[in-house]
Structure 1
Amino acid sequence: MKDLFTGVLITAPTTAIILLFALSGKNEVLTAQERHYIDQHLAADLFDQEFEAAWGSLKLASNAENRAERIKKLEERKKHFDEMFDQQFATSQTDVLELRAAIQNH
């Protein structure tokens, strides 16, 4: 019976650490996916804008205004998610250092 309790006491902190990293990793992946999505749409809108300007496309002026608004919103979202990604990366770096220190102390 003592062996069972000892095993539980040893594995519980390790399991908690693994779950913490698994959940934080999921958030990082979602942030990276959103950044990629924003980058794709921003590049497409910028290309369309440049193409229309270069080739004198006969699109309506309202379409160009809508695109300009969309580009502005995408750039703001990109900035927000870039900051969030940088913050998550810094947090993950400190988590790794803390985990390494905890492992070396045991």
Structure 2
Amino acid sequence: MHRLISETQSAFVRGRQILDGVLIANEVIDEAKRLKKKVLLFKVDFEKAYDSVDWDFLDFVMGKMHFPTKWRNWIRECISTSWVSVLINGSPSKEFKMERGLRQ
């Protein structure tokens, strides 16, 4: 698994918390202030990232990472057969088939 997930990833990994990154950033800022050093921090937040995952690209990446074809087919089947609805003013819409993105 270490080959697939960076040791710096703090979310969605057992034993790590999504706030770990925030705490580390705060420590960096506090240390820079204490030492009177100038720092530049850059935060990237991929808004609606799950909604924008392209299934063909996901399959391509899994192929490059040497996922077995059987696994890739299972993943594609799971994500391409999804039907969803959305809440509009508190009421669910008619169900529709997903064409991209991932369920959360």
Tell me: higher relative CO, structure 1 or 2? Use CA pairs within 8 A at least 6 residues apart: 1
Question: Would you tell me which structure has more strand in proportion to its own residues?
Answer: 2
Question: Would you tell me which structure has more helix in proportion to its own residues?
Answer: 1
Which of the pair has more CA radius of gyration? 1
